[in-house]
Amino acid sequence: MSHTTQTTMPTAGAPVAGTATGADGDRIAALFAAQRQGVAVRRVSFDYAARLVALERLRDALVRREADIVAALAADFGKPATEVLLTEILPVRQEIAHARRHLRRWMRPRRVRPTLGLIGTAARVRPEPKGVCLIIAPWNYPLNLALGPLVSALAAGNAVMLKPSELAPATSTLIASLIAETFPPGLVAVVEGDATVAERLLALPFDHIFFTGSPAVGRIVMAAAARTLASVTLELGGKSPAIVGPGADPRKAARWIAWGKFANAGQTCIAPDHVFVHRSVADRLVAALEAEIARAYGADPSARRHSPDYARIVSRRHADRLHGLIESATAAGAQVLAGGEADLLARYVAPTLIARTTLDMAVSQEEIFGPVLPVIAYDDLDQVIARIDAGPKPLALYVFDRSRSFAEAITARTSSGAVGINLTLAHFLHVGLPFGGIGQSGIGAAHGEHGFRAFSHEKAILRDRFSVTPLLFPPYTPLVQRLVRLTLRLLG
């Protein structure tokens, strides 16, 4: 993934957008100072009722600005309206609905039973807001991945500075306008701009940083957070494999894989990066994938080129990179099975299937992040697992087979942020599941209660009622020594 932003100093109800350069660094600092100044007040005033109101206002803004959101994403990506509703608006609306339904329970202090040594005390854990949080959103799902974390941050009671990506400029401007007319800047402020703005933001002592993007930039964010000891949630990416077993239904697997790979023109951090398919079903899977591409986007290259249901690449630079991956692979001996066409000026890269890739090719080493799908036949599952384990841990792993034991064996033998069995991408939409990576694919988790806890500090509270612990205080008389020994024996 990738990302970045611009700067805004709006008052609620009066959207003002602008690019933060030069003196705007002072405006960023002033916004941060205003949000920081309100931390103590928010701990009391931003209670359950106020958080519900904030979430309702965000939901109402999404409903009110739906047509504008669709238009902005069409301008940035040529993204189909239905795909905007499904992948940008629906997940955020679902997060809001889920948070409103469960927020009272999430906020409630949890009682903890006393340990043997602390009988006579009462213990509880109370979630409290971390304070002022920074959300840096990527360009590939610029609305969803900006406002989804915002839902969790508001549910947890925080103030937020939000930086959308400048690579999706229409959506960035839309987000700035939507937020400015919905929240006062002391609660939520949008800062637009490029990497320079991100650097200025990361120099500030935020209480939590939520970043979605590439592992390379994630390292920069984590290093910046270390300077101020801010906690982080890093939603990164990597090469998420799909494994199609000998007992898979090729048509069903192709339906899910094609959707997961070619939605948003493949610019999805949990898209299947490549497919390992058992040689016994490889030809049938390829035929099914070709049929699915034709069904979804058009029967021939011209129809696919003009399909209203297929998005564009975010920038010419990214389109050039993807076209380069195809050309370098074919020059080294890979075979294009379907697609391969590109109109770089229009930022169009066709849904593409390639075979005969080798480990030394760039397409095998880089996260593809586009509509290019290597199909790799295998005979020995152990070799597939060894190859997956030899690389960074993926954000997602997908398994297709009718055999439950086949899927369970792969799940047990590999490490990944999530596993999808006979489906792709859908786990992102399940707000009851944690969404996050492991190792280079991410740190921490988002969505639902997991997102609420990411933006919360769990404060431990212990109260004395009739504790006998003072009996163990010095001076350490023979009686105290016997009591300590007795306690140790009772612990086993």
Distance CA 312, CA 348 (A): 5
Q: Using 50, 70 and 90 to split pLDDT, how confident is the model at 492?
A: confident
Distance CA 480, CA 474 (A): 8
Tens of pLDDT, residue by residue over 106-145, are: 999 999 998 888 999 999 999 999 999 999 999 999 999 9
- Which strand (E) or helix (H) includes residue 124? strand 121-129
- Which strand (E) or helix (H) includes residue 147? helix 144-155
Residue 185: per-residue pLDDT: 96
Is residue 391 pLDDT above 90, yes or no? yes
Tens of pLDDT, residue by residue over 330-382, are: 999 999 999 999 999 999 999 999 999 999 999 999 999 999 999 999 999 99
What average pLDDT score do residues 157-183 get?
98
Phi-psi region of 351 (alpha: psi -120 to 50; beta: other; left: phi over 0): beta
Rounded to the nearest 5 percent, the helix, strand and coil shares of the chain are 50, 20, 30
DSSP assignment of 466-488 equals: S--GGGGPSS--HHHHHHHHHHH
Residue 328: per-residue pLDDT: 98
Residue 262: per-residue pLDDT: 98
- DSSP letter at 89 equals I
Q: Using 50, 70 and 90 to split pLDDT, how confident is the model at 4?
A: very low
What average pLDDT score do residues 44-58 get?
97
3-state secondary structure (DSSP) of residue 443 = strand
The overall longest dimension of the chain from CA atoms, in Å, is: 92
Q: Count the Cβ atoms, other than its own, within 10 Å of residue 194.
A: 16
Q: Enter the tokens of residue 262.
A: 């070619």
Task: Using a pLDDT cut of 90, give the percent of the chain over it.
Answer: 92
What average pLDDT score do residues 436-461 get?
97
What average pLDDT score do residues 414-425 get?
98
* Among 337, 351, 276, residue whose Cα is nearest residue 307: 351
Pairing of strands 121-129, 110-112: antiparallel
Distance CA 39, CA 58 (A): 21
Residue 217: per-residue pLDDT: 95
Radius of gyration of the chain (CA): 25
Q: Using 50, 70 and 90 to split pLDDT, how confident is the model at 149?
A: very high
Q: Using 50, 70 and 90 to split pLDDT, how confident is the model at 25?
A: confident
- Which strand (E) or helix (H) includes residue 34? helix 24-37
Distance CA 89, CA 86 (A): 6
Q: Using 50, 70 and 90 to split pLDDT, how confident is the model at 491?
A: confident
Residue 19: per-residue pLDDT: 39
- DSSP letter at 47 equals -
* Residue whose structure tokens are 């024996």: 489
Distance CA 320, CA 361 (A): 17
What average pLDDT score do residues 204-230 get?
96
pTM of the model: 0.93
Known catalytic residues? Answer: 235, 269
Distance CA 402, CA 278 (A): 13
Tens of pLDDT, residue by residue over 449-474, are: 999 999 999 999 999 999 989 999 99
Tens of pLDDT, residue by residue over 222-255, are: 999 999 999 999 999 999 999 999 999 999 999 9
Q: Yes or no: say if 206 and 194 are a contact pair by the CB < 8 Å rule.
A: no
Distance CA 112, CA 105 (A): 16
Q: Yes or no: say if 192 and 19 are a contact pair by the CB < 8 Å rule.
A: yes
Q: Enter the tokens of residue 107.
A: 């906020």
Is residue 436 pLDDT above 70, yes or no? yes
Mean model confidence pLDDT for the chain: 94
Tens of pLDDT, residue by residue over 295-308, are: 999 999 999 999 99
